[in-house]
Copies of this chain bind each other. A is one copy, B any other.
Amino acid sequence: MPETPRRAVGIAANRYGNRPTMKDVAARAGVGLKTVSRVVNGEPGVTPETERRVQEAIDALGFRRNDSARVLRKGRTATVGLVLEDLADPFYGPLSRAVEEVARAHGALLINGSSAEDPDREQELALALCARRVDGLVVIPAGDDHRYLEPEIRAGVATVFVDRPAGRIDADCVLSDNFGGARAGVAHLVAHGHRRIGFIGDMPRIHTAAERLRGYRAAMEDAGIAVEDAWTSLGATDPWRVRRAAEQMLSGPSPVTAVFSGNNRVTVTVIRVLAEQSRAVALVAFDDLELADLLQPGVTVVAQDAAAIGRTAADRLFRQLDGTQIAPERIELPTRLITRGSGELPPAD
């Protein structure tokens, strides 16, 4: 005898395997379809005896309500979508988890998608989620034009942008205070005696990168320091590019004595390069890192609260879904400077 197949195949298995439906349950229990629906959904108005018969049929048949059909009739999917850059990035894990928790509190599930920082893929993903009629959408923008979402928003899809503002449409967004955080971080270096301070950041078309650079420039101006071209470098965050940028501003006739790192990807490589230097170079980094306090010296950071950002965005999303008419708003969350040693090193001139 051949081994038992792990699931039914053939003609009967085309759709959802061969699952029993409410109709099957009704037939077996000898009741009407609507009565089954009542029992399944815990609606009142069913005799205990009838309920027992229906429940028996449900158990015997292994019936589970098809929410996919339910959704079609009810009009709400109890699903929200999250389009982010890369789930493997340690910043997005906690953010996603926070969105999930809020969704869960509202009885909704979360569909995740990674855009890989590609605007086309962001759009493709967001629209695929809309085609599945998610109730709401949290988007971490990869692109800078979100007019493609206008018809969806008009049709009722709640939408909140996170980490970076929406492009060319008016919509809710939840951001960190990138400008203020960077400014404070650089001011911290200035306060510790640095004047030649480098900035290494992400590609300038990314909003957070631009804002942090702006914060850097503001702090330098506050201190009356003229920024030299060689001190700033924006571009891809791959180790190779960042290493070259760091090495360049650390060499030459008047090298920087301190570096402000624009995000967690950049920081990882900058730390490596600084460890190889013969003299001590100060470092303040945007984004906290696990183990940052255990390095020698500990890494001084401007920390964002990824979970708080996710929570705030999701709260806002469900407020939209409550039907309350609220004007689009830009919510900025504060950052926190955590001093651990690397940012308090004096200039090694």
A-to-B contact residues, CB < 8 Å: 3, 5-9, 13-19, 62, 64-69, 71-72, 74-75, 77, 79, 86-90, 92-94, 96-97, 100, 109-114, 127-133, 151-157, 268, 271-272, 275, 289-292, 294-296, 307, 320, 323, 325-328
Contacts and interface: CB of A to CB of B under 8 A. Distances in A.
Contacts of A93: 87-90, 92-93
Given A109-B111, A109-B129, 15 more contacts: A3-B327, A8-B155, A13-B156, A16-B133, A16-B156, A17-B154, A62-B151, A69-B72, A87-B96, A88-B307, A92-B93, A110-B112, A289-B290, A291-B291, A294-B295
Given A75-B16, A97-B88, A271-B294, A132 B112 contact: no
Q: Which 10 A-B pairs have the closest CB atoms?
A: A17-B156, A15-B75, A62-B151, A17-B155, A88-B94, A88-B97, A87-B97, A93-B93, A67-B131, A7-B156
A127 to B, nearest CB: 7
A9 B66 CA distance: 28
A156 B8 contact: yes
Contacts of A290: 90, 268, 289-291
Number of copies of this chain in the oligomer?
2
B133 A112 contact: no
Contact of A68 (B6, B77, B289, B323): B77
13 contacts: A7-B155, A7-B156, A18-B155, A64-B127, A64-B152, A72-B72, A87-B100, A88-B94, A90-B93, A90-B290, A110-B111, A112-B112, A268-B291
Given A155-B19, A156-B18, A268-B291, A97 B90 contact: no
A150 to B, nearest CB: 9
